[in-house]
Amino acid sequence: MTVLHLADEGEAADLAAFLSRLLHYDRGAAVRLQAAGTALAVFGRPPSFEVLAIRAVRLAKPYEDGLDVTLDVTVSAGELLETVDEVAATAVVPAAVTGPPWAGVLPPRGGWQAEPGLPAPDTLRALVAAAVVEFRSRTGELPDERRTRAELDRIGREIWSRTVGDTRLPVRVVHAAQSLGFLPPAPSGSTQAPDEAPLGLFSSGAWLRLRTPYGSIAVRRAGLGALGFSVR
């Protein structure tokens, strides 16, 4: 049994919240865990968004029962969530599962360069809100004979594949960040929390990554559906 000792109760609560949100979109969700020392990265793919979500978790100490150097395993998100003890700030790594194809295709660890042009958080929130309103309006106007899954998907792809401002970042990346709690709403009466760190946009090869204080969303510009890219 591999026990993860998280840095504190807050880290345990954040991990549980992230896993719960992934399971909201896919009850059979898997996550890939990668860790070394006292840093743990949790990768997941909410199917509705076609992106990779990465939640960084701080560990209080390395692993017990033999794993004292590194950890790299794909597990059930639901089984991992069941083991999270927020009071004790621990989690038990479940048995490995046969990972979905995306679990073998992760963004590079290094080589990231800052990309210019990312709007402020309040602008991003407004952009997502407007896109949601447009999607609901356009799909709501469809006659019954055209209200098919293919047509809904077509409208969704058109809206969510648009880029943000002058960047190459698809709007669906920002939507995913907001839906997974990485881009929380601004406090009432304010467009941005006083202690909210600025967001960052980075690129490495074919990948783009939106970094927030709460996690990152990565997307491969050629799409995640194909398998013609590096596996590690």
In a domain, 191, yes or no: yes
Q: What pLDDT does residue 155 have?
A: 94
Task: Based on the fold, state whether residues 128 and 80 are members of the same structural domain.
Answer: no
Q: Domain count of the chain? A: 2
In a domain, 130, yes or no: yes
In a domain, 216, yes or no: no
Listed residues 60, 80, 104: the one ending a domain: 104
In a domain, 220, yes or no: no
In a domain, 125, yes or no: yes
Task: Based on the fold, state whether residues 21 and 97 are members of the same structural domain.
Answer: yes
Q: What pLDDT does residue 62 have?
A: 73
Task: Based on the fold, state whether residues 132 and 190 are members of the same structural domain.
Answer: yes
One-letter amino acid for residue 221 of the chain: R
In a domain, 15, yes or no: yes
**Going residue by residue through the chain (232 aa), what tens digit of pLDDT does each one get?**
788 999 999 999 999 999 999 999 999 999 999 988 888 999 999 988 889 999 999 999 876 655 556 789 999 999 999 999 999 999 999 999 998 999 998 999 889 999 999 999 999 999 999 999 999 999 999 998 999 999 999 999 999 999 999 999 999 999 999 999 998 766 655 444 444 557 999 999 999 999 999 999 999 976 544 333 333 3
Residue-number span of the structural domain to which 129 is assigned: 113-197
Task: Based on the fold, state whether residues 164 and 193 are members of the same structural domain.
Answer: yes
Task: Based on the fold, state whether residues 41 and 93 are members of the same structural domain.
Answer: yes
In a domain, 34, yes or no: yes
Which CATH number goes with the domain that contains 66? 3.10.150
Please provide residue 102's backbone torsions phi and psi, each rounded to the nearest 5 degrees: -65, -25
Other CB atoms within a 10 A radius of the CB of residue 85 amount to 14
Instruction: Quote the pTM value.
Output: 0.86
Task: Based on the fold, state whether residues 99 and 125 are members of the same structural domain.
Answer: no
Q: What pLDDT does residue 15 have?
A: 96
Task: Based on the fold, state whether residues 60 and 151 are members of the same structural domain.
Answer: no
In a domain, 170, yes or no: yes
Task: Based on the fold, state whether residues 120 and 76 are members of the same structural domain.
Answer: no
Task: Based on the fold, state whether residues 80 and 137 are members of the same structural domain.
Answer: no
Task: Based on the fold, state whether residues 134 and 189 are members of the same structural domain.
Answer: yes
Residue listed under structure tokens 């979109």: 25
Contact 228, 220 (CB under 8 A): no
DSSP-derived secondary structure for 17-63: HHHHHHHHH-TT-EEEEEEETTEEEEEE--TTTT-EEEEEEEEEE--
Q: What pLDDT does residue 160 have?
A: 93
Listed residues 104, 134, 162: the one ending a domain: 104
Task: Based on the fold, state whether residues 97 and 156 are members of the same structural domain.
Answer: no
The alpha-carbon radius of gyration of the chain (Å, integer) is 19
